[in-house]
Structure 1
């Protein structure tokens, strides 16, 4: 694989490294789904170009140089030997084009995320993690495999100003003004879904409902620029160090 570091801008290379790291982390946490689902990021600059995974690579194989640069129609901008799943970009292109602040979009098909997306009540406010994630969640009804470009308008409308979404009967989605922000949001959402599946396996009747007003308090405590700074300046560098100890090849 050719190393592209000297062939792209420093800003694009930095975004490539972060997105490749996100793929490796998704694989590390067991959130991947063979070669399916996508993570994407906007390429810095005036062009509406995006980075996405080559369709044929496992997430654990993705590197900064292997990411494919595509346009708003999901077509490669540069010559590439990699395959791109244009249909898979339908969801991502909707969010990127509809939300200028959506620099990164992550979409997963984990068993826990799919399970909660299929529950009529959605994410329940019964754990601290769920309360951190829940206030920022939107819902989108399932319309079949996302190949219909007309669905993009409905996706954007349903997401609104939220930064996370449960795609009904489908999976989870997060976005952010950086790969770091989108990934940390996904971490909390997936952990909340996992906890809910375990919690409900023990039976609904025995659940303890948090006191009235606590969910709103947690929303205030887990919102704002301070929390975003923790994700960007503390959690994300720690995750990169974790990857570096395991295999730093994602940066090539």
Structure 2
């Protein structure tokens, strides 16, 4: 069972507090998994209409804090232009929200966007062939991965149309020479998809030292992706995995709920 959540501020909509606690837990999970990059990279969540009245508002980590320092209350609330909507003393990283804003703004189902610079993910992103269809994890991602060429640090809004064109409707993106990205209608679904891509990259990186790999036939990969329970709504769409990891964080340091 999950731990009892600490109540949020009386003046805050309970749906916003719930989103804040879930996102703060996710930052701590990334820290637990080693998916951090000093104070850089981001996980963003769009607040529900019950909170915003239909306006586009998002939560993002304060620029300057390590993922292990993120809490529900110190997350920043921003608009689609990356402007702060609260009185937090922490700034927003403009290089962090440019890509996220493009995806949140254009894709209705992009409730959550995650981006990492893990060693394995970046290594695969630097290879000409990209993700290899040769292991259990990459076989679960058949037809789900898009590619976008490196254009430098992502601070220029004019990159957005090209990024969106390359993404199409694919929920996972390998940003060439850069890293990995996932988006989904829920945070747990984005997480479990990114975890699967990360594992595929780790296996690919380890396997490369052993010589040529056995390729997974396309028909088998398509069947594997279809059968992969973690992407099926009736099996929780990653919620069970996310809840299990949140319980680990609760045992280690529940301060993310503050």
Q: Shorter chain as normaliser: what TM range?
A: over 0.9
Unmatched 5+ stretches in structure 2 = 1-6
1:123 corresponding residue in structure 2: 131
Which stretch has the larger CA shift, 163-172 or 5-14?
A: 5-14
> Does 2:215 correspond to 1:209?
yes
User: Does the C-alpha gap of structure 1 residues 234 and 102 become closer, same or farther in structure 2, counting only changes over 3 Å?
Assistant: same
Q: Is the 8 A contact 1:180 1:231 kept in 2?
A: yes
1:44 corresponding residue in structure 2: 48
Q: Is the 8 A contact 1:20 1:67 kept in 2?
A: yes
Q: Is the 8 A contact 1:51 1:69 kept in 2?
A: yes
CA distance in 2, matches of 1:7, 1:86: 29
Q: Is the 8 A contact 2:125 2:176 kept in 1?
A: yes
2:119 corresponding residue in structure 1: 111
Unmatched 5+ stretches in structure 1 = none
1:238 corresponding residue in structure 2: 244
CA distance in 2, matches of 1:44, 1:169: 33
Residue of structure 2 aligned with 1:193, choices 179, 198, 201: 201
Q: TM-score, normalised by structure 2?
A: 0.91
CA distance in 1, matches of 2:229, 2:18: 26
Q: Is the 8 A contact 2:189 2:231 kept in 1?
A: no
> Does 2:76 correspond to 1:68?
yes
Q: Is the 8 A contact 1:133 1:192 kept in 2?
A: no
Two-structure CA RMSD over aligned residues (Å): 1.7
CA distance in 2, matches of 1:225, 1:62: 28
3-state secondary structure, aligned to 1:165: strand
1:157 corresponding residue in structure 2: 165
Q: TM-score, normalised by structure 1?
A: 0.93
